[in-house]
Amino acid sequence: MKNTFFISNFFLLIFSLNLFTEDFLIKNAKIFTGTDQGLIKNSDIHIKDGMIQEIKNEIDISNIKVIDLNGKLITSGFISPLTQLGLVEIGLESRTRNDSSDVYSAGFSIASSFNPKSTLIPYNLTGGITLSLSSPSSGGLFSGLSSAFYLSGKLKNSLLKKDIALIASIRSGEGSKAASFLLLEDFLTYAQDRNAEKDLSIIPLSQEDGNISIRDLRAIKRVVDKEIPLVVRVDKSSDILTILDLAKRKDIELIIAGASEGWMIANELADSGVPVILTPIDNIPSSFDSLGSRLDNASILHKAGVKLIISSHETHNAYLSRQGAGIAVSYGLPWEEAIKALTINISESFNLDEIGAIKSGYKADLVVWDGDPLEVTSFVERVFISGKEVPVENRSMRLRDRYLDN
Amino acid sequence: MKKKLFLYSFFIFSLSPFFINAKEDIPFQSTYNPQKSSSVLIQQGRLLTATEEDSFIGDILISNNVIVEVGKSINPPLGTKVIDARGKWVTPGIIDIHSHMGVYPAPSLNSSSDGNESTSPTTAHVWAEHSVWTQDPQMPLALKGGITTYHVLPGSANLIGGRGITLKNVWSRTVQGMKFPNAPYTLKMACGENPKRVYGGRRMEPSTRMGNVAGYRKAWIKAETYLSKQQQYESKSEEAKQMGYKPTRDLEMETLAGVLKGEILIQNHCYRGEEMAVMLDLAKEFKYKVTTFHHAIEAYKVADILAENNVCAAIWADWWGFKHEAFDMVWENAAIIHNANGEKGCAIIHSDDPVGIQRLNQEAAKAMAAGNRVGLNISEGDAIKWITLNAAIGLGIDKWTGSLEKGKMADVVIWDGNPFSVYTKTEKVFIDGILKYSSEDISLPKPTDFELGIINPEENRL
C-alpha cells in the first residue's frame, strides 16, 4: 500500500517536472464553462500562450501535447475574495502578519508585502484556489486596498492586478454606527474636492476621525471616480439599506460583504445591482447586527436576482468556500450559480478581465477535479495557472508522508 | 383529572431506566426526565450503527425511550408508528465532545461570555454547568445538525480550567434539566500556548511550557496529599471519626481527588505531539488517566503512543494555522489515529465551534476521504464512530448512547441521504425516542426564549 503511494508520488514528480507550458490540448473533459453554455461534456480545450483558444466537441491538432481527462470535470480556478492569503502565516503571531497598518487607512495597499512562498498558498491551491483577492484587515472604517494575486508560488509574476478595491467596514461597538456612515459620506464628499489634495486641512475631520494622508485620499478618490469598487462589510438589514442609499447618492460602485440579513431586503439589493459577498456556512446570530443570519440567505438572494460571491470564513482554509457553496446549494442555490459565485461573479465584480470562465480569449486558469468540487470528499487533481501546470503539493502532505512511513 | 394525569406520568417517569437520580445529597443533579416515548419503527433505512463495519438496509424499533430492536426486518407491534425510511440513512445521534454552547453563547455579549475563569492558572473548583445559559440559540441549530448530546467545557486559558458537563440537546429552563443522567464529570486541562500566553502576559507563572508542567505537578501533589488525608479519615472507625477532626472540604481538591479516584475524566486540550507524551508521563506520575486529548492537531505524530495508552484524540478535520501549535495539521490525522497499532486507535471529530457542530458529519466525511486517498481504508462505519460511539467513549457514556444497539437510549438521526455528503441534511432527530426535530414540522426545533419576537414581535427568529 505504502509502495503504491510512493510510486504514484514519484509519477507526480515526473509530471510536474515535465510542466505543460505553451501549447497543449485538454481532451475528453467535462467542462463547467461559467458562461451561457453551462456544463458541456466530452469536449476539448486548446490552450496556447497561457490563454484558452478554443473549446469544441473535438479538436484535432497534429504534434501537440495532449492531456486526456477521461471525462473528469474541469472548472476555472476558484477565486478567494477578501482573505489574507500571502499576508499572514500564523494568526496569533503578529510577526508573521502583514495585513494591517496603523499608518495608513484607505490608502493602505498590501501588494508589496505579499509572500508567494507562504505555506498557505500551495495549501489553498491544492484546495482549488488559483487566484486570491488578498485584502488588508486593519480596524477602523477603511482597511485599505485589495490586490489580486495568483497562487502559483512564483516570486515573480504572482501579481495579477494591484489595488482593485477599497475595503471598508461598518462595525458595532465603536460608538454609534451613524458616525461611521457620516465619516464615510464625508470622505467621499471631500475626495471629490479638487483642492483637497493640495491642502488636506480643508477636510474638516478631527484626529479621532482618523489620520488622513494624501495616499488615503487618492484611494478614496479612485472610488469616487468609479475606477475601483468600494467593498463594505455590513450585516444588519437597516445598515445595508443605508449604504445602498449612500452609494446611489454618491454614484459609486459598491459591493456588500457579510450581509447576514441580506435576505430581509433581497429585492432592494437586487434592484441596486450591487453584488453581495456571503459566507454561507455561517448562520450564527453572533451579534445583534446578524440576528437574521440563516442558511438559505444565498438562495433567497439569488432568487431575487442578486449577483452572489461566495467566500470562506477565514484565510487558512480559504478553499472551504467550496463547502459553503455546497451548503448554499443544499438550501436551494442552483449548483451552477454556486460555481459562478466562486469564479466568474468574482472576476466580473472586481473588474478582472478574461478571468473566471472557460471561454475563448480567457486566461487558462484551470482545475481538474476527481469529483464534484462542492463535495467535501472531492480533491483537486491538477491545476493550471495561465496555461502552466502547477504541482498539487503542499507542506501538510509532506508531513503526512513522513508520519505515514512510521 | 389533571392531577391524576400528573401522578400517572410521574409513575411512568420513575420507571424509565436511565433517568433514576443518584443519592439525594449530591448537588446539581440531573432532573432530565423525558416523557415516555411511543413506539416508532424506522423502516428500511440504510443503517450506520457505529458498531457494524458496513451500512445495511434495516429497521429500528424504538419504544419507551430506548432502542428495542435493530434488524433487517422487524414486525411492528400493534400501535407502532411506522416511518418509511427508504432512501434515507439512519445513524446514532451525533455527539460533540467539545462544545462551548451555553458558556460562549450567541450573540456574543460581555454579559454571557462565561467560559474562562482566567483569574488563576488552576481553577479546578469551577464548574462549566454553572455558566450555561440554557436559552443559547446555537443549541437548536446544533440539533438540526443531528447533535443529540454535547459536552460543554470551560475554555483553555487555565492549566486546569474546571469541570465540564455532558448535556442532552433538549430545551429546558434549567441546566439540571439538560444534564445527561449519570454521565461522569470531566475535568478540563490545557497544554501549550493558551495558559502561558494568558498568565505570561500578566508577568506571572506560567509564562513557558515548562511553567505549565510545573503548575500541573504542583496541583497534583496537593491533590494526592488531600486525598490521602480524606482516605485516612474515612478508614477510621466511627468512634475515632467522632474524636478526630473531619478534614476541611476544599472544592478545588475535591475535583482533583475525583480524578485520582478515577471518577472524573480528564479532557486535555493539547495540540503538540511532544506535549501529549509529557502529559501521559504526568498521568503516570500521579496515577490518573487521560481520557481524551482535544484539538490534537499533531496526534498523527504520536498515534501509536496514544493507542498504547488507550487515549482518544479529538480533532478538527482541517482547522490550522491560527497559532503555531496548530501549524502542522494534516487532513489524514483522524485516519492515522484510527489505524494506529492495527486499528486500535480512538479518533473523534469535534467542533469547538457553533458552525462546525452543525455538520460534524461533513467534517468526518472530509477526514474519511483524506484517509482513503492515501490508502488507509476508512469505511463509512469507521467514520460514523468518530462522531458518535468514540465521542461517547471519550465521555464515559457509551453504555447508554453512541450507537444503534438494543437497550441504548433512542438517540437517532434520519438523514435525507448519505450523511457524508455536503448536500445531505437531517430529516428527523430523536432524543430518547422523542422527536425533537423534523424537517416537516415548522414548530421544531423548539425555539429558545431568546428567539421569540427578537426580530419581528409576532415571529420567531427562524
ipTM computed for the complex: 0.94
Residues of chain A with C-beta less than 8 angstroms from the C-beta of B375: 1-2, 4-5
Answer whether residue A170 shows pLDDT above 60. Answer: yes
Residue range B432-442, pLDDT digits in tens? 999 999 999 99
pLDDT band at B147 (very low <50, low <70, confident <90, very high): very high
- pLDDT tier, B25 (very low <50, low <70, confident <90, very high otherwise): confident
d(CA B136, CA B128): 15
Distance CA B314, CA B390 (A): 9
Residues of B in contact with A284 (CB under 8 A): 106, 138, 141, 354-355
Does the structure show a pLDDT above 60 at B17?
no
pLDDT at A406 over 70: no
Q: What DSSP character marks residue B180?
A: P
User: Quick one: cell of A187?
Assistant: 470622505
Phi, psi of B350 (to 5 degrees): -120, 175
Mutation site for B-interface testing, chosen from A85, A293, A377 by largest number of B Cβ within 10 Å: A377
B289 and chain A in contact, CB less than 8 A: no
What integer pLDDT is reported at residue B203 of this predicted model? 96
Asked if the C-beta of A381 comes within 8 angstroms of chain B's C-beta atoms, the answer is no
Whether residue A332 lies within 8 A of chain B, CB to CB, comes out as no
Contact B462 A294 (CB under 8 A): yes
Pairing of strands B89-92, B40-47: parallel
In chain B, which residues have their Cβ closer than 8 Å to the Cβ of A91? 321-323
Those of residues 145-184 in B touching chain A at CB distance below 8 A are: none
Cα B389–Cα B394–Cα B397 angle in degrees, nearest 5 = 65
Q: What is the per-residue pLDDT across A348-371, written as a single tens digit (0 to 9) for each?
A: 999 999 999 999 999 999 999 999
| Structure confidence by residue, pLDDT tens digits, A313-350 | 899 999 999 999 999 999 999 999 999 999 999 999 99
For A7-16, what is the mean pLDDT?
Answer: 50
Q: What pLDDT does residue B355 have? A: 98
pLDDT for the residue numbered A210: 60
> For domain A78-357, which CATH number applies: 3.10.20.30, 3.20.20.140, 2.60.40.1120, 1.10.10.10?
3.20.20.140
Q: Give the separation between CA A344 and CA A341, rounded to whole angstroms.
A: 7
The answer to whether B405 touches B421, Cβ cutoff 8 Å, is no
A10 touches chain B (CB under 8 A): no
Q: Residues spanned by CATH 2.30.40.10 within chain A?
A: 2-75+368-404
Q: Do A375 and B421 lie within an 8 Å CB cutoff?
A: yes
The pLDDT value recorded for residue A22 is 76
- Intervals of CATH 3.20.20.140 along chain A: 78-357
Residue B271 has pLDDT above 70, yes or no: yes
Residue A351: phi and psi, rounded to 5, are 55, 40
pLDDT of residue B8: 43
Per the CB < 8 A criterion, the answer to whether B43 and B80 are in contact is no
* A21 pLDDT above the threshold of 60: no
CA distance A286 to chain B (A): 4
Q: Mean pLDDT throughout A169-175? A: 88
Q: Could you say which of A285, A313, A379 has the minimum Cβ distance to residue B373?
A: A379
Residues above pLDDT 70, as percent of chain A: 92
Measured between CB atoms, does A189 come within 8 Å of chain B? no
Rounded CA-CA distance B313/B337 in Å is 7
- For residue B332, give the nearest of B281, B284, B280, B372 by alpha carbon: B372
* Residues ≥6 apart with Cβ < 8 Å to A318: A80, A83, A85, A120, A124, A127, A129, A132, A312
* Residue A142 pLDDT level (bands cut at 50, 70, 90): very high
Name the strand (E) or helix (H) holding A120.
helix A120-125
Nearest CA in chain A to B459: A292
CA nearest neighbour of B184 among B98, B94, B267? B267
Whether residue A281 has pLDDT greater than 80: yes
Contacts of A300 (CB under 8 A, 6+ apart): A262, A263, A266, A332
- Residue B264 grid coordinates: 472524573
Q: Do B107 and A286 touch (CB under 8 A)?
A: yes
* Alpha helix stretches (DSSP H) within A146-258: 177-191, 214-224, 237-250
**Contact between chains at B321 and A400 (C-beta distance less than 8 A):** no
pLDDT digits (tens, 9 = 90+) for B95-145: 999 999 999 999 999 999 999 999 999 999 999 999 999 999 999 999 999
Q: Is the pLDDT of residue B190 over 90?
A: yes
Please compute the mean of the pLDDT values over residues A306-312 and round it to a whole number: 97
In this predicted structure, what is the pLDDT of residue A49?
A: 95
Contacts of B192 in chain A (CB under 8 A): none
How would you label B433-445 residue by residue, b for 16+ Cβ within 10 Å and e otherwise? bbbbbbeeeeebb
- Considering only the top CATH level, what class is A2-75+368-404? mainly beta
List the Cα angle A136/A139/A144 in 5-degree steps.
35
Does pLDDT of A262 surpass 60? yes
Q: Collect all residues with Cβ–Cβ distance below 8 Å to B67 and sequence separation of at least 6.
A: B60, B61, B404, B405, B406, B407, B408, B409, B410, B412
The answer to whether B328 contacts chain A (CB < 8 Å) is yes
Worst-scoring range by mean pLDDT, A201-205, B337-341, B397-401? Answer: A201-205
* Residue B24 neighbours by CB distance under 10 Å: 6
The pLDDT of residue A207 is above 90: no
Residues of B in contact with A404 (CB under 8 A): 332, 336, 374
Looking at the complex, report in whole angstroms how far the Cα of residue B109 sits from the nearest Cα belonging to chain A.
8
Q: A248 and A272 in contact (C-beta within 8 Å)?
A: yes
Q: For residue B106, what is the nearest residue in chain A, using CA coordinates? A: A286
If you write DSSP's letter for every residue of A104-128 in order, what string do you get?
Answer: -STT-B-GGG--TT-THHHHHHTTT
Give the contacts of B172 (CB within 8 A, at least 6 positions apart). Answer: B32, B134, B178
Q: Tell me the nearest-neighbour CA distance from B133 into chain A, angstroms.
A: 15
**CA dist., res. A106 & res. A109, Å (int):** 8
Question: Rounded to the nearest 10 degrees, how much is the dihedral formed by the CA atoms of B170, B89, B312, B267?
Answer: -10
- B218: closest CA of chain A, how far (Å): 29
Select the residue from B374, B427, B448, B452 to test the A interface by mutation, using most A Cβ atoms within 10 A. Answer: B374
Residue appearing with cell numbers 502561558: B196
Number of Cβ atoms within 10 Å of the Cβ of B200: 16
Measure B94 CA to nearest chain A CA, in Å: 18
Is B449 part of the contact surface with chain A (CB cutoff 8 Å)? no
| CB contact B264 to A (< 8 Å) | no
Mark yes or no for CB contact A375/B422 under 8 Å: yes
Question: Residue B11 above 80 pLDDT?
Answer: no
Task: Give the pLDDT score at A291.
Answer: 97
Q: Residue A96 corresponds to which amino acid? A: T
How much is the pLDDT for A197? 73
Enumerate the residues of chain A whose CB falls inside 8 A of the CB of residue B329.
396
Cβ separation of B318 and A317 shorter than 8 Å? yes
Is the pLDDT assigned to residue B15 strictly greater than 80?
no
What pLDDT score does A203 carry?
A: 67
Strands B312-315 and B346-349: parallel
Window 56-95 of A, Cβ < 8 Å to B: 89-93
Minimal-distance CA residue of chain B relative to A331? B423
Whether A90 sits inside 8 A of B320 (CB atoms) is no
pTM exceeds 0.90, yes or no: yes
* A238 CB neighbour count, 10 Å cutoff: 12
pLDDT in tens, B206-216: 999 999 999 99
Report chain B's mean pLDDT, rounded to a whole number. 95
- Which pLDDT tens digit goes with each residue over B279-294? 999 999 999 999 999 9
Closest Cβ–Cβ partner in A4, A92, A291 for B375: A4
- The mean predicted confidence, pLDDT, of chain A is 92
Task: Please report the pLDDT score of residue B205 as a whole number.
Answer: 98
Is 70 exceeded by the pLDDT of residue A162? yes
| Confidence band, pLDDT 50/70/90 cuts, at residue B9 | very low
Q: Name the pLDDT band for B3 (thresholds 50, 70, 90).
A: very low
Contacts of A18 (CB under 8 A, 6+ apart): none
Interface check for B107 against chain A (CB to CB < 8 A): the answer is yes
Q: How confident is the model at residue B258 (pLDDT cuts 50, 70, 90)?
A: very high
What is the pLDDT averaged over residues A300-316? 97
Q: Which residue has the cell 462589510?
A: A233
**Local confidence band at A192 (pLDDT 50, 70, 90 cut-offs):** confident
* CB within 8 Å of B204: residues ≥ 6 apart: none
- Alpha carbon B254 to its chain centroid, in Å, reads 22
User: pLDDT category, B421, cuts 50, 70, 90?
Assistant: very high
